[in-house]
Copies of this chain bind each other. A is one copy, B any other.
Amino acid sequence: MPVFEETADARRDLRILPSRALPLPRLLPKASSSDDEREVVVIGAGPSGLFLTLLLARYGITGSSLLCLDSKPGTLKAGQADGLQPRTLEVFQSLGIASEIIAEGCHMEEVAFWNLSADDKSRIERTSFVPDVNVPARFPFEVTIHQGRIERILQENLSVYAPEDTIRRSHHFVNYTVDTVNHPEYPVQVNYEHELEDGSRVPGSVRTKYLVGGDGAHSRVRKSMGLSLEGETSDHIWGVCDFVADTDFPDIRNRSAVHSEAGSIMVIPREQIATGEYLTRLYVQVPGDVDAKTDRTTTPEDEKKNSSKKKRAEVTLEYIFQQANAVFAPYKINIKEGTVPDWYAAYQIGQRMAPKFSSRTPDGVDRIFIVGDACHTHSPKAGQGMNVSMMDSYNLSWKLAHSILGLTPRSADYSTDPVLETFEEERVDTARQLIEFDTKFSHMFSGKIGSGDSDTAGLTHDEFLKVFRDGSGFTSGCGLEYKSSKLVRAAQNSEKLIVSTGDPLYGALTPGRRVLNVELKRYADNTTRQLHDELPSSGRYRILVLTSTDLLDSSGQSQKALQACASIVNSHPAGSTDLVVLHPIKERFEWTQIPSEVKKLAEMRTYGLAKKEDAYDIYGIVKEEGAIAIVRPDGYVGILCRLSAPEVAKSYLRDCLVKI
């Protein structure tokens, strides 16, 4: 029988709760924000708006500082997106919200290509299997799962950080007005209509410092900014259906691109549902072209006149399956008996984007932003939509939070914020790449593929494969490289800036690229760690010191660099920058052999090499040389410099982050 005498402290009870990210430090006092005065108002609670709201709340913009208005009455949405890229999974993991998605979503590791049989033009045959993701990533697959489920996960996490009424439903954004003279603190007035249960609408307004439109392709925030999407309407109509399949097509559980005489199909396997069955999504091309038109000024009236609408309306469920069976021949595909399709639709989407993603108020401050579909629309073929949209928010959120909290160094009058300005630079460039890639990719998918080297119908299969493989850096989200800016200092011909060796796509540390995950062994507790888990998305910069083999030499470069970097950390507000130390030493050493600042600042962030892989090799860093990298709060390398040049790192950080 256990016999105890015990004493417990009440705070022990707190230990049972899920972990929360620590907020960023707040240096600027919160002006008396009230229910009518918010620091940020987000319009739209779809993936981009909800993700932005969540991130801001986690960084410390919470309580009465934050408000999100959504026009829909409930949380359930008939969203169409279902694909998450490897990079999005990495970001979700860095927030501790990836596990349900990875455990229960459908993984796509390979893609099957089916084309006309060379021997028998009446049937299709498998041409090849290729990896779905061709670049290294922590999660080397895409995941498909219902968009509403992703939104539920985001919202559950939001409830840990923000009051329940942070998101207000049935609130229709009308427009915004600006008054920097009478309301210098909260110059943006957001006007909305609250829709009551009887359908009547009550006008209301709220003042804010910053307004972000995550309100979709028909964004009213964008309209209020005087912007519209520019680009072309696609000439192809596609039908799409989510259902439980009954088929003898062998690769129904693989992502499959099928091209036959009758047209094109994309099979997207989906997650298991409550019955134990598995969903399938089918994209079915509707044969024949629709008049394409360059269309910068489409209004609902124009749409109604458009003959495409009639054609889309003809895409019935019966039509989708009739066409699918024609393409799949000799295989058959049908809706499983006793089941009803979840959803089907016909769509026609061009590649279009807004020319700007932000708008400045008369006080010279960028106060209005758009993210997600409000910025760019494109075809769903490459599974980009929800990902690029959420990554817009991921890029904006920490810059906006730093600006609001007073962490960015600014001019005396606090007007311009060069860090915040990089949001537009970086994401407009990304959106342009997206539009270009999607134009190529979706046209390719709508065309026919030759079965051999005869090129009668456009691309050969090999050319198609090449576009698919080359696009993997982009489609995985892992190949993105932000251009040089205040936040990205590309290596120049300076002896202090070193270029790592190796391919950036395969992990070589490169300014503008995300840090690839590596496995490490933590010094303090001898446990195996994934570096990505050690750099959670908490809004902090990280000074990553990759010490050299001279680590234990008390007058060597490594120890000097560690001391210098510790002093950089201490020169910025507590909680804004973390020191992270990697070392390539094989022998056991003690804390007393390295500068005491390391244990003090980075006891649980000091790592040696793991058995499984060599982080220095992957990062392209020579062990005898070492390096210092500053990693931005979003996981992208800001600068990479020699161990002997910590002043370069110091100067970079002084430009991005306020000092104490």
Interface residues of A (CB under 8 A from B): 1-9, 11-20, 22, 76, 78, 80, 96, 99-100, 103-104, 106-110, 129, 141, 146, 148-149, 151-152, 217-218, 229, 233, 242, 248, 250, 253-254, 269, 271-274, 276, 278, 298, 303, 308-309, 312-313, 315, 317, 340-350, 352, 373, 377, 524-528, 533, 590-591, 603-604
Given known pairs A1-B298, A16-B148, A269-B525, the reply for A604 and B278 (CB within 8 Å) is yes
- In the complex, are the beta carbons of A109 and B528 less than 8 A apart? yes
- In the complex, are the beta carbons of A377 and B527 less than 8 A apart? no
Closest partner residue, chain B, to A308 (CB atom): B3
4 tightest A-B contacts by CB? A6-B345, A99-B99, A253-B525, A16-B148
12 contacts between A and B (CB under 8 A): A2-B373, A3-B233, A12-B78, A13-B148, A14-B274, A19-B272, A99-B99, A108-B527, A109-B526, A248-B591, A253-B525, A272-B604
> What residues of chain B lie closer than 8 Å to A20, measured between beta carbons?
274
> What residues of chain B lie closer than 8 Å to A104, measured between beta carbons?
18-19, 96
Query: How distant is the Cα of A344 from the Cα of B604 in the complex, in angstroms?
Result: 25
Min CB gap A488→B, angstroms: 29
- In the complex, are the beta carbons of A342 and B377 less than 8 A apart? no
- In the complex, are the beta carbons of A3 and B347 less than 8 A apart? yes
> What residues of chain B lie closer than 8 Å to A1, measured between beta carbons?
217-218, 229, 233, 298, 349-350, 352, 377
- In the complex, are the beta carbons of B528 and A146 less than 8 A apart? no
Closest partner residue, chain B, to A106 (CB atom): B525
Min CB gap A241→B, angstroms: 9
State the main secondary structure of chain A at its contact with B. Answer: mixed
Closest partner residue, chain B, to A269 (CB atom): B525
User: Which residue of the partner chain, among B99, B148, B341, contacts A103 with CB atoms under 8 Å?
Assistant: B99
Extra contacts, 20 of them, besides A8-B78, A8-B343, A254-B525 (Cβ < 8 A), are A1-B217, A1-B350, A2-B377, A4-B80, A4-B346, A5-B315, A5-B347, A9-B343, A12-B78, A12-B146, A12-B242, A15-B146, A15-B148, A22-B276, A107-B525, A107-B527, A108-B527, A141-B527, A248-B591, A254-B526
- In the complex, are the beta carbons of B527 and A109 less than 8 A apart? yes
- In the complex, are the beta carbons of B303 and A3 less than 8 A apart? yes
Closest partner residue, chain B, to A315 (CB atom): B5
> What residues of chain B lie closer than 8 Å to A242, measured between beta carbons?
12
- In the complex, are the beta carbons of A103 and B533 less than 8 A apart? yes
Given known pairs A3-B312, A16-B148, A350-B1, the reply for A526 and B129 (CB within 8 Å) is yes
- In the complex, are the beta carbons of B343 and A253 less than 8 A apart? no
Closest partner residue, chain B, to A591 (CB atom): B250
Query: How distant is the Cα of A129 from the Cα of B588 in the complex, in angstroms?
Result: 11
- In the complex, are the beta carbons of B129 and A345 less than 8 A apart? no
> What residues of chain B lie closer than 8 Å to A5, measured between beta carbons?
309, 312-313, 315, 345-347
Query: How distant is the Cα of A491 from the Cα of B1 in the complex, in angstroms?
Result: 39
Query: How distant is the Cα of A273 from the Cα of B525 in the complex, in angstroms?
Result: 16
- In the complex, are the beta carbons of B17 and A152 less than 8 A apart? yes
- In the complex, are the beta carbons of B16 and A152 less than 8 A apart? yes
Query: How distant is the Cα of A528 from the Cα of B141 in the complex, in angstroms?
Result: 10
Min CB gap A157→B, angstroms: 12
